[in-house]
Amino acid sequence: MIFIQGKLLPAFTIKAIGSAEKASRTDVNTVTNWNVPLVWEGTFDPVVIDAIYKNANPRIAVLVLAVGKYTRFLKGFLESGEKYFFVGFRVTYYIFTDKKHEVPNINLAPGRNISIQDVPSAKRWQDVVLSKMKWATVTIEKWLYKEADYLFMMDIDSIFHNRFGAETLSRLTAVLHRGYYKTNRDSFPYERGPKSQAYIPYGEGDYYYTAAVWGGYLEDMYKLVKYCFEKSQEDVKNGVEAAWQEESHLNKYFLYNKPTKVLSPEYLWSDYDTVPNDIRVVRISQLIKNYAEVRPNGGQ
């Protein structure tokens, strides 16, 4: 089902989107084992999908945290987003930062906006990561439900290199982690400690998803971020912290609440890694950086 501003799109529209997403790739899996699209370059028609969604005119929100020295990545993220992120759509970049004065002035296309929100500084990068679910929950509850139909959560230390568009929209959209999309599930870095609310035992799991890019319809995203926030708070009360903070809780949620669309690692690669043959297009890439220098606790 596909919703815009709380309304289900007509059946003919859904059928058209489905036909636009038919696979023309034989070198990769293009559907999950629960029968939803696994999106790669060559598996969708961008003209058809954009035409359908632009007619519906959805409001797209993207939430990023730029705390401490991470404000240096804002300019590149925003400028490249204006070139490639939902071009021609209504977009608002929600920037949560402790340094509002360091948010750059960016020339935005019509219908696109920046909203700057204050957040406190952090002493540990792990606290910054975990706070994403908190701020997303609070933001949706307070005002975002009036301003957006779809929400994407993204890491600020990345650059758009190619199209990121309507082919990514669904109730819940996850992105395969570049480091684990070719490995077996017992190699996934799930939280393996049973005391954590993010615990996933060996022998379970579908994929390992990155927490650096994911999104979906606002109502479904609210359920997800609130779940992850509450479960991480339970961990705090119990004196534990999941191995990969919000990413661990995200993977736990997706295990039992399957994504309605999965995106290939094209949608988040890394400048640290060479690009294999199955990645025909790098759409977003995380930047090389000195973690010890940019993270508040020296990357530890």
Q: 174-187 as b/e, with b when 16 or more CB fall inside 10 Å?
A: bbbbbbbbeeeeee
Which residues are CB-contacts of 1 (< 8 A; sequence separation ≥ 6)?
Answer: 8, 14, 171
Helix (H, G, I), strand (E, B) or coil at 107: coil
3-state per-residue secondary structure call for 119-188: CCCCCCHHHHHHHHHHHHHHHHHHCHHHCCCEEEEECCCEEECCCECHHHCCCEEEEECCCCCCCCHHHC
For the CA atoms of the chain, what is the radius of gyration? 18
The alpha carbon of 76 is separated from its chain's Cα centroid by a whole number of angstroms, namely 18
User: Do 247 and 241 touch, CB atoms closer than 8 A?
Assistant: no
H/E stretch holding 234 reads helix 218-237
User: Which is the catalytic residue, given 82, 247, 266, 293?
Assistant: 247
Pick left, alpha or beta for residue 187 (phi over 0 → left; psi -120 to 50 → alpha; otherwise beta): alpha
H/E stretch holding 223 reads helix 218-237
Provide the pairing of β-strand 213-217 with 3-4: unpaired
Helix (H, G, I), strand (E, B) or coil at 11: helix
Q: 164: number of CA atoms within 13 Å, CB side?
A: 30
CA–CA gap between residue 164 and residue 194 (Å, rounded) = 37
Active site residue 246: no
What is each CA distance from 292 to 69, 102, 127, in whole angstroms?
Answer: 11, 21, 16
Active site residues: 247
